[in-house]
Chains A and B, each alone.
Chain A
């Protein structure tokens, strides 16, 4: 890159800062994700009749479905804002490496998702008297899963906003590719809730880490092809 360009780290954090500042002023993305999450849980509550027995086995699944749905909402919005107001062109013109844009958007998307999770998890625990989800292992899996989901999601949302069918397309593109991360997370976090031994959750955990590493690397490498004009 050019000599005068800011470092990758600096550029990345400038983008994260911009996204977070914009969000904390408008709060439109987080509030939408939060309300949506609560609605999904509400629907699950009645659709699955979450009594105590049913809840035990489906907690991980319900939470992951909720976060996946809320995640697409956030990913879509976060990229659409860039596209609509021409910010993306501005970002692309900036003398920074394209990967800084990817990491910046991915980190702020991850931050939004983690904030939503940080609010929804205690609410879920309160509503269903489910304190087992506060285990550090459970929260660790949640973090790993969110990282993988957001890495692919950021790349695909950058693609979907540039198409004619934009909002409809993101979940259709993202869900089949993110199946491994969702399934491995459900398996691992479900195991943790059910007090499985470490050996039992090790395989899904390994696959989750493998997925994260591969997809962060690949998304970072091919992001350039997605935003070039």
Chain B
């Protein structure tokens, strides 16, 4: 195991700085939204975490497919790292959304398509970890993990489409919103700056976490090999 690369240390520092700046922008720089007031500020981090959550899940599904084709354990490490980091970010998205929904919709939770899809997706990835925990053989664990991320990645969009048949109140800030959406708003220029900076900040943070997790993944592999050596 090589020592921590300098680039990673730099990235750590950059992540902290951009997250700090993003927090400042969201809390102080962005104008207060006219109808919802300060609670709307949750939006910047809500979309930021959701964005990297989605990126991670897509990355995981793609790495899963590449793993099944190449059988290179590197892709398995990327897949686990992506799922783990994204599951955490996605959980934050749900929590932040709930905090916003309480004053905006007057409820912590509603079975709206986006919320339901988010919850089901989160459950799929929790199941993914339970599946992996039940398999000792690293090669089989990687194979099953890849198959399951693939199934999860396919079923999530269909879940979204199916639940949309029921009804939606989730606002769509970018692009057209449905007539029933509650709590939508138009972004001013300053809001847009804050919004895109939050996306950028969380992307940096995501890359940083991924890097750390990949290093841990390598260590895990080494530990497993050492254990095998001892038991022999």
Contact = CB atoms under 8 A, between A and B. Distances in A.
Contacts of A179: 120, 155, 159, 162
Chain B interface residue count: which class? 20 to 34
A84 to B, nearest CB: 17
Secondary structure class of chain A's binding surface, majority of residues: helix
A187 B131 contact: no
Interface string B162-203: 110110000000000000000000000000000000000000
Interface in B120-179: 120, 123-124, 127, 130-131, 133-136, 140, 143-144, 146-148, 150-152, 154-155, 158-159, 161-163, 165-166
Contacts of B158: 180, 207, 210-211, 214
A159 B165 contact: no
B23 to A, nearest CB: 33
Contacts of A187: 162, 165-166
A169 B134 contact: yes
Given A177-B155, A225-B143, A184 B162 contact: yes
A74 interface: no
Interface residues of A, number: 33
Contacts, number: 88
Interface string A165-180: 1100100110011111
A204 B162 CA distance: 7
Contacts of B47: none
Interface in A54-74: none
A162 B159 contact: no
6 A-B pairs closest in CB distance = A163-B134, A180-B158, A165-B134, A176-B124, A164-B134, A176-B123
Interface of A: 152, 155-156, 159-160, 162-166, 169, 172-173, 176-180, 183-184, 187, 203-204, 207, 210-211, 214-215, 218, 222, 225-226, 228
6 contacts: A156-B151, A173-B131, A176-B123, A176-B152, A184-B165, A215-B154
Interface of B: 68, 120, 123-124, 127, 130-131, 133-136, 140, 143-144, 146-148, 150-152, 154-155, 158-159, 161-163, 165-166
